[in-house]
Structure 1
Amino acid sequence: MNSKKPLTFSETLIDLIRARHPVLMVETHEGDRVITAAEAVASGPQLRRPRRVILYTVSKGLHIPGQAGKPTSPDVALSEAVKASEPTLFVFFDLHHFLGSQGRPAEPAMVRAVLDAATAFRTGEIPHTLIMVSPGMTLPVDLEKEVTVVDLPLPGADEIETVLNGIVNANAASIVVDLSPDERQRLMQAAQGLTLGEAENAFARAIATDRRLDASDIAMVLDEKRQTIRKSGLLEFISPTGTMADVGGLENLKKWLAKRNGSWLPEAQRWSIPAPKGVLITGIPGCGKSLTATCMATLWGLPLLRLDVGRVFSGLVGSSEQNMRGALKLAEAVSPSILWIDEIEKGFGSSGGGDSGTSQRVFGTFLTWMQEKKNPVFVIATANKIDALPPEFLRKGRFDEIFFVDLPTKEERTHIWKIQLDKRLGGTSEASGDFDVDSGSLNALAERSEGFSGAEIAEAVISACFEAFSERRRLNEKDLHRAIANTVPLSVTQAEQINAVRGWASKRAVAATSISAREEYSTSGSASADDVTSWRGGRQIDF
């Protein structure tokens, strides 16, 4: 069965205007794009009767685009709009200041003026439509059934290319453009997720620096995007700092991710596969879940955005849902991208109550988006307490797979020790010299650190380096053994919790490591053999 192609913003406007929807609301910072679309629709052949376009702002009142006007209160302007004798699209700005925003209540006279205009526009002989444009508005209850919300997506590749062509043509006499077709495509992709104004600013900054536009300017445009994402306050642009080689063990998870590299590209459609939805990684704290998320961006070569669910919830009624929608819309605009939610149970683990249903609505918004998102945004979520998440979050179809990360095996600990020692003793480090990272030494360290997490191994190396620093000497093997002996690992202090997580994962998750750790822990001091008999290492995938 063929699915319908989603309607564009202009096509949606045409349908709603034809259907005599009296009041539309467009939530955007890009008022100019709304005006451009309204003018194209008003004079286009799709409407049986052409429309005028009249704007309203607090400073200029009702006015024709490009012409002067005089200040008028919005309720008076709406009363004048109702009396218009020609079919008109009224595009009103600034109404959010009067209909409730930033915690301020709506003005009753303003609410009534919109209701009166809605009634007149719906049933009047002369077809009018009111389009309210606002960067953010929480509708009063009285207007919820009268107003139709229309989504204006962030600019697509075609619109960004138009801006790029415009600024290049305007400065052609004084700049040098040195871009291959592939570099030009990457430059435009770097600008995706920006408004047209922000994209134009980014291209202008790149040109102004050296009067050239070349591949080196891609980083500058990405920096502009990073600033924009930071200003949203909800998403954080994470710069990749490592590779999968920095992650010790977790071979199953690494192979799973490597096989899906590039699956969002158009060529993948020839294999009849959809873009991957996401992965949920749960397990013992300190065993590489977050590190995998950050290194995955390097593996796939995609921007990594971190969503802080705590920032989504604010004190203003209705703004939490708006925050979530805005964050998800931005993640899609930047696509293909990776959306990372760290310790997701802290944000969605108590979606059931105590806050008048806000958590439940925000959670529902996120679930619906995960199920229906059309742009390739890969969600990587990490959780330490998987049982705290609601069951509907874990059902098949939300994530492509759920992986369990256990304490590292001996082989993985050997790899982690090598990574951490190379990191601390490499280069010009004063600590290097008296300790050789050979297989025998690493094997001894791995044996002694049974039950340690990757984070605990990293801290043991740091502690040993402090020992060497305190005596201003080189690091030796005794320092590392002493650091191990002085560390009480999580496998001891939280043995019961760890075994409970293992019990959950034994039938519900895929093991992130390719070797079961059961044999090690059945004989270690971290937990008794009886405690771990239910642990089977998770389902093994034949990669």
Structure 2
Amino acid sequence: MENSFKLNIANYFRARFPYLYISTWEESRVITEINLVVKNEELIKTPRSFFVWSLTEGLKLEGNVQSPETKAPAKILEFIEKYKEPAVFILKDFHIYFGGEGRQADYPVIRKVRDLIEGLEKSHSPKNVVFLSPSINIPFELQKDITIVEYGLPSFREIKEVLHTMIEANRANSRIRINLSTEEEERLAKAAMGLTLQEAENAFALALVSKGGLDASSVESVLQEKQQIIKKTGVLEYIKSEPNMDDIGGLENVKRWLKKRNKSWLDSAEEYGLPAPKGVLLTGVPGCGKSLIAKAISSMWQLPLLKLDMGKIFSGIVGSSEENMRKAISTAEAISPSILWIDEIEKGLSGIGASGDSGTSTRVFGTLLTWMQEKTKPVFVIATANNIHAIPPELLRKGRFDEIFFVDLPTKKERMEIFKIHLNKRLKSPKARGDFQFDHQTLEKLADLTETFIGAEIEQVVISALFEAYSQDRGITFSDFEKVISNTVPLSVTQAEQIRAIREWANIRAVAATPQEDRAEYNKLDNLHAIPKKMTDDPDISASRGGRTVDF
């Protein structure tokens, strides 16, 4: 990025572009790079003086104040007009005179900026003006005369240099422990991607102070620093990755798929010519672990998890919904590598084609589709959906997601695992446990009693059984589970038709999240159509289903 920016800015200067506009928070970094450009005769051909102006300090040349009286905007513009030597002028926060955001535009200043254009373009000595501010604000009168120059966040190399500098500066300190392998160091630097150099340095310093050194666990400290960026968007929510894959019972196909793609955003994956994975769509029966998987990916991959609330995207101001989507996308890319979770995506896209929508949903959807297809930053999108029929077919086309997984009712083996996870999680007190022992035989009995129960219902069975014991101030018993189960009407009964429709859809369009060997039980469920045997999903082979090839 650094080399392309320097080359672009040099070309603009040589082509006599009068006004350039760079939006960034990193003034010092931009000023340093532009100063290197104007001194590089090979790049710019004609070396130039380098001036920096601010309202508080006036005009400076090479760091020395030249004219204190130039603090006023009209005075600095006059100085630029009269200056006869080759020069580049950096004007900090000049956008405040352009109006916007509740400010009154200073029209004499805008007029003077326009008056200077011909002189800058045709001056005997080349002169260029660069507006530098955190936000882009160009008045209508100047839209044809100002060129916006993109300036990205620090590259991986730059952040790694900051990390190396901090490590070397603290290595001699016996109270600070540095224990990073090459891969862990790369992961730590990758975790800081999306931060400014100052923010990255702050994050590394915080990790040094809080943990007394740097190690593999320091990644979490860096991710906490990224939360500040996310909170400021108002559209994205940072989700703390508390659950891990061990907290999910079953769904081994999804777990294996995700495990194989761990670390795929690191440089080591490039040696195999591998791109970063695009994402997955999880659909299926509600309450069977789709959202839990989204949270567990963050823990497995040690990447920040951002939840996109589609309700916040569609605000009441005309045009703001599209801007909100662009803001969410740019934030996710800014802190990449990251995971973007869109929960119940079908609800957010339900307004497409509806009357009274004015095309807003369609435009937002188009922005999302284009980005998913063409994104180059390592942002892994995980979308969950309960009603797959409400999702526009364009979203399901190959290239949007790497894979579509179907999460069905848990099998007997999976129900046993789910019971074991929740019992281990909650039966920690000897008083609550009492004489109850949940060995393999007990788990098998509970799984048999809860045939066709979803994972969320199994969790509630454990909680309700504990309430039975708590209300009588005793340890839990097997009869508590039997009583709760007998009083529960599972979702598979109340929504049998919907589940059957989802299964029929998934037959040729999705990969089963549960391995084939664990799905034999489905053939016994007469009240719900079994998943057809066509749905092959061995993660170690390529399988053809309905004309579609899947390669794990």
TM range (shorter): 0.7 to 0.9
Instruction: Describe the superposition over 1:248-303 as per-residue Cα deviations: whole angstroms up to 9, x where unpaired.
Output: 22122122222223333333334333222111111222111111112223333434
Q: What is the rounded CA distance, in whole Å, between the counterparts of 2:362 and 2:115 in structure 1?
A: 34
> Conserved in 2, the CA contact under 8 Å of 1:414 and 1:445?
yes
Q: Does 1:29 align with 2:29?
A: no
> Conserved in 2, the CA contact under 8 Å of 1:518 and 1:536?
no
Instruction: Tell me the residue number matched to 1:509.
Output: 510
Instruction: Describe the superposition over 1:468-520 as per-residue Cα deviations: whole angstroms up to 9, x where unpaired.
Output: 11111111222212222332333333334333333332222222122486974
Instruction: Tell me the residue number matched to 2:85.
Output: 86
Amino acid at match of 2:376: K
Map residues 389-428 of structure 1 onto 2, 5 A cutoff. Answer: 389-425=391-427, 427-428=428-429
Amino acid at match of 1:500: A
Instruction: Tell me the residue number matched to 1:378.
Output: 380
Using the size of structure 1 for normalisation, the TM-score is 0.83
With over 3 angstroms needed to count, the CA separation of the structure-2 counterparts of 1:233 and 1:496, relative to structure 1, is same
Calculate the aligned-residue CA RMSD, in Å.
3.7
Q: Which runs of 5+ in 1 are unaligned?
A: none
Number of residue-to-residue matches in the alignment: 531
Map residues 286-301 of structure 1 onto 2, 5 A cutoff. Answer: 286-301=287-302
Q: What is the rounded CA distance, in whole Å, between the counterparts of 1:414 and 1:224 in structure 2?
A: 39
Amino acid at match of 1:472: D
Secondary structure, counterpart of 1:430 in structure 2: helix
Amino acid at match of 1:463: S
Q: What is the rounded CA distance, in whole Å, between the counterparts of 1:524 and 1:486 in structure 2?
A: 22
Q: What is the rounded CA distance, in whole Å, between the counterparts of 2:58 and 2:479 in structure 1?
A: 79
Secondary structure, counterpart of 1:262 in structure 2: coil
Using the size of structure 2 for normalisation, the TM-score is 0.82
Q: What is the rounded CA distance, in whole Å, between the counterparts of 1:103 and 1:538 in structure 2?
A: 62
Instruction: Describe the superposition over 1:8-29 as per-residue Cα deviations: whole angstroms up to 9, x where unpaired.
Output: 3223322333344443332221
> Conserved in 2, the CA contact under 8 Å of 1:102 and 1:316?
no
> Conserved in 2, the CA contact under 8 Å of 1:100 and 1:137?
no
With over 3 angstroms needed to count, the CA separation of the structure-2 counterparts of 1:65 and 1:346, relative to structure 1, is farther
Q: What is the rounded CA distance, in whole Å, between the counterparts of 1:460 and 1:285 in structure 2?
A: 17
Q: Does 1:337 align with 2:338?
A: yes
Q: Does 1:500 align with 2:487?
A: no
Q: What is the rounded CA distance, in whole Å, between the counterparts of 2:105 and 2:75 in structure 1?
A: 16
Instruction: Tell me the residue number matched to 2:546.
Output: none
Amino acid at match of 2:469: A
1:71 CA displacement: 6.8
Q: What is the rounded CA distance, in whole Å, between the counterparts of 1:61 and 1:339 in structure 2?
A: 44
Secondary structure, counterpart of 1:56 in structure 2: strand
Choose 25-34 or 257-266, whichever is displaced more.
Answer: 257-266
Instruction: Describe the superposition over 1:110-136 as per-residue Cα deviations: whole angstroms up to 9, x where unpaired.
Output: 655555555654555543333333323
Q: What is the rounded CA distance, in whole Å, between the counterparts of 1:293 and 1:472 in structure 2?
A: 37
1:330 CA displacement: 4.3
1:240 CA displacement: 2.9
1:176 CA displacement: 5.3
1:171 CA displacement: 7.2
Amino acid at match of 1:128: K
Q: What is the rounded CA distance, in whole Å, between the counterparts of 1:132 and 1:347 in structure 2?
A: 39
Q: What is the rounded CA distance, in whole Å, between the counterparts of 2:159 and 2:97 in structure 1?
A: 33
Secondary structure, counterpart of 1:155 in structure 2: coil
Identical residues among aligned pairs (%): 49
With over 3 angstroms needed to count, the CA separation of the structure-2 counterparts of 1:300 and 1:420, relative to structure 1, is same
Secondary structure, counterpart of 1:50 in structure 2: coil
Choose 212-221 or 377-386, whichever is displaced more.
Answer: 212-221
Map residues 58-457 of structure 1 onto 2, 5 A cutoff. Answer: 58-64=55-61, 66-68=63-65, 69-70=68-69, 72=71, 74=73, 77-78=76-77, 80-99=79-98, 101-102=100-101, 112=111, 115-117=114-116, 121-122=120-121, 126-137=125-136, 139-140=138-139, 143-164=142-163, 178-180=177-179, 182=181, 184-206=185-207, 213-215=213-215, 219-312=220-313, 323-350=324-351, 359-425=361-427, 427-428=428-429, 430-457=431-458
> Conserved in 1, the CA contact under 8 Å of 2:22 and 2:130?
yes
1:194 CA displacement: 2.0
Q: Does 1:477 align with 2:474?
A: no
Instruction: Tell me the residue number matched to 1:14.
Output: 10
Q: What is the rounded CA distance, in whole Å, between the counterparts of 1:481 and 1:59 in structure 2?
A: 75
Out of 51, 56, 59, the residue aligned to residue 53 of structure 2 is 56
Amino acid at match of 2:28: D
Q: What is the rounded CA distance, in whole Å, between the counterparts of 1:8 and 1:57 in structure 2?
A: 27
Secondary structure, counterpart of 2:44 in structure 1: coil
Instruction: Tell me the residue number matched to 2:545.
Output: none
Q: What is the rounded CA distance, in whole Å, between the counterparts of 2:13 and 2:446 in structure 1?
A: 72
Q: What is the rounded CA distance, in whole Å, between the counterparts of 1:537 and 1:108 in structure 2?
A: 73
With over 3 angstroms needed to count, the CA separation of the structure-2 counterparts of 1:213 and 1:437, relative to structure 1, is closer
Choose 33-42 or 64-73, whichever is displaced more.
Answer: 64-73
> Conserved in 1, the CA contact under 8 Å of 2:515 and 2:538?
no
With over 3 angstroms needed to count, the CA separation of the structure-2 counterparts of 1:273 and 1:194, relative to structure 1, is closer
Secondary structure, counterpart of 2:11 in structure 1: helix
With over 3 angstroms needed to count, the CA separation of the structure-2 counterparts of 1:6 and 1:72, relative to structure 1, is closer
With over 3 angstroms needed to count, the CA separation of the structure-2 counterparts of 1:273 and 1:198, relative to structure 1, is closer
Instruction: Tell me the residue number matched to 2:36.
Output: 40
> Conserved in 1, the CA contact under 8 Å of 2:289 and 2:455?
yes
Choose 277-286 or 265-274, whichever is displaced more.
Answer: 265-274
> Conserved in 1, the CA contact under 8 Å of 2:69 and 2:75?
no
Q: What is the rounded CA distance, in whole Å, between the counterparts of 2:278 and 2:359 in structure 1?
A: 27
With over 3 angstroms needed to count, the CA separation of the structure-2 counterparts of 1:120 and 1:395, relative to structure 1, is farther
Q: What is the rounded CA distance, in whole Å, between the counterparts of 2:202 and 2:300 in structure 1?
A: 30
Q: What is the rounded CA distance, in whole Å, between the counterparts of 2:340 and 2:308 in structure 1?
A: 7
